[in-house]
Structure 1
Amino acid sequence: MNKLLSLVLSVLILSGCTSGNRSSLPYDAWRLGFFAPDYMEVWIETADTYGINGMVRIEAGSGTASIGYPRALSKGIPEVFKGDPKGWPERVGWGAGKYVKGADLPKQIYVRWQSLVEPQTYHTRIDIPESIRDIMRKGEKAFCRADGKWITDYREAIVIGLAPGGIAKAWVTGPCLSPIEIARVQAKVDPTGPYDGKSGGRHRPLSPTSKEYVEKFGIPYGSW
């Protein structure tokens, strides 16, 4: 009888720990997004997250990053290039990405991407300190212009900007809260090349508009 009671108590304790881990976030899931400066197109091969609970998510992010110019539905080379790739925006958006469900906040994010304007393949790791994770768990009063109401908002999104030269910069932000910078890192060239060396050194193609911009104005290295 004592052994049975001990077993039941052990199960209850473990269940409590598991429930505690699942409810460690005040929202259902955190979001991972990516963007690139105007015309500086990138292709994300993989973004893997390493959680504080030891969980690893392979390809938590991949594919295209959001970009202001060229526009998604634009056709032909414009007579005037309206975008400006120099520097980072004062207020970053959420980028192209998705919610990472069923995983706790990350302590590190690994990104491997193709910089299509160079072209070059880079990879790097971005550390997410505990102080940033504390910010992501903390609710703040915020005024949302979308509905004109004061709400309790959370910085539930990590947004990463990827620029030529292997520059990656990360912020944490929320729907109605201003972004806070996490880190700026210098990535290394991946010696295996695009797609882990499985494409014969061929990168994804650059769009005609971005190709024309780079040929006319170059790449503003040093502005990121």
Structure 2
Amino acid sequence: MSALTKYKNIIATVLSLLLISGCEELEPIPGQPWRVSVVTPSFYPIKITQAYGVNEEQDWTMPLHGLAQTMRESELESVRTVFPDYDGFGFPISRLTSARGRQLGSANKHLPDSIYIYWTSLINMRFFVTKYDLPQKVKEIMSKGVSFERYDGSLGSCFRTEFFFGMLPNGKAKVWLMGCDQLIYLAELDPAREKDRDQNGTTADEYRQGPTPTPQRVQQRGIEAGVSTIPIPWEKVGKVYSRDAVELLSEQ
């Protein structure tokens, strides 16, 4: 092989490596790991049986630990310590009123393409699967740091990396992105699927017979509060309670 040919091969290899490196840098990677939180109206709690993120290109599935039961976090008196005027029907969006999921194993800053949540509506014993596909714009927002001034006067960066899912007893869900004193409304989702049992194989009859909170026990919340929760007053359900103003994705 001539010296000129070797030189051309070296140049081609270097250019290929630079191209690969440039593509990797273009991939949105937040400065903090992504998280998922779930909130429900206090009168319509749910149970989560499985949650995970999927990245198709990198071929991984990341389970989320901690997203299981929202009964305790959604108790009316507990929520009112954060939002004193909470009516029990809306979404109380706060880290203090939600079930919060974190990744298993080492922190993975690479974003998923989709997030799946399998859950049971305890007021009517219906089993849903919620799927959220992350748009490219959302990935870019999550990967972009927002500057802020620390108490000592130095500058730092924060990242908007926490998804909040609000679940309703008809299977619909709303999704927000939280971080840096912002709450950005992303989408309203129809259930991706409705099943005849939860992800553990437990049926509605087994829920009613076992130690898991039954529809009657859930309805007791409304009875104790002196309000009617059945039939569901849809005109009241879904109001957002948040310390941060709700912004739209189109405004970002």
TM-score (norm 2): 0.64
- Residue 43 (structure 1) aligned with residue 33 (structure 2): no
- Separation of aligned partners in 2, 1:163 and 1:156: 23
Q: Alignment identity in percent?
A: 20
- Separation of aligned partners in 2, 1:191 and 1:207: 18
Secondary structure in 2 matching 1:194: coil
- Separation of aligned partners in 1, 2:134 and 2:192: 19
Tell me how large the CA RMSD over aligned residues is: 3.7
Structure 1, gaps ≥5 residues long: 73-81
Secondary structure in 1 matching 2:48: strand
Q: Give the 3 Å change call, closer, same or farther, for CA 40–143 of structure 1 in structure 2.
A: farther
Counterpart in the other structure of 1:64:
69
Cα deviation, residue 160, structure 1: 1.0
Counterpart in the other structure of 1:212:
220
- Residue 84 (structure 1) aligned with residue 87 (structure 2): yes
Counterpart in the other structure of 2:36:
32
Counterpart in the other structure of 1:126:
132
Q: Give the 3 Å change call, closer, same or farther, for CA 26–122 of structure 1 in structure 2.
A: closer
1:135-181: per-residue Cα shift (whole Å, max 9, x none)? 1011123468xx5976422101111111211121111111x321101
Cα deviation, residue 122, structure 1: 1.0
- Residue 195 (structure 1) aligned with residue 203 (structure 2): no
Secondary structure in 2 matching 1:57: strand
Secondary structure in 2 matching 1:63: coil
Counterpart in the other structure of 2:81:
none
Structure 2, gaps ≥5 residues long: 79-84, 239-252
Q: Is the 8 A contact 2:34 2:162 kept in 1?
A: yes
- Separation of aligned partners in 1, 2:158 and 2:109: 20
Secondary structure in 2 matching 1:211: helix
Q: Give the 3 Å change call, closer, same or farther, for CA 85–98 of structure 1 in structure 2.
A: same
Q: Is the 8 A contact 1:49 1:108 kept in 2?
A: yes
TM-score (norm 1): 0.71
Q: Give the 3 Å change call, closer, same or farther, for CA 117–148 of structure 1 in structure 2.
A: farther
1:85-135: per-residue Cα shift (whole Å, max 9, x none)? 33334xx22432233322511221122101111221111211210111111
Which amino acid in structure 2 is aligned with residue 212 of structure 1? Q
Q: Specify which of 129, 147, 155 is matched with residue 160 of structure 2.
A: 155
Runs of 4+ with >6 A deviation? none
- Separation of aligned partners in 2, 1:67 and 1:163: 16
Q: Specify which of 133, 141, 147 is matched with residue 135 of structure 1.
A: 141
Secondary structure in 2 matching 1:187: coil
Q: Is the 8 A contact 1:109 1:125 kept in 2?
A: yes
Counterpart in the other structure of 1:167:
172
Q: Give the 3 Å change call, closer, same or farther, for CA 189–214 of structure 1 in structure 2.
A: farther
- Separation of aligned partners in 2, 1:104 and 1:52: 12
Q: Give the 3 Å change call, closer, same or farther, for CA 143–87 of structure 1 in structure 2.
A: farther
Which amino acid in structure 1 is aligned with residue 102 of structure 2? Y
Aligned length: 203
Secondary structure in 1 matching 2:29: coil
Cα deviation, residue 50, structure 1: 1.7
- Separation of aligned partners in 1, 2:221 and 2:149: 39
Secondary structure in 2 matching 1:217: coil
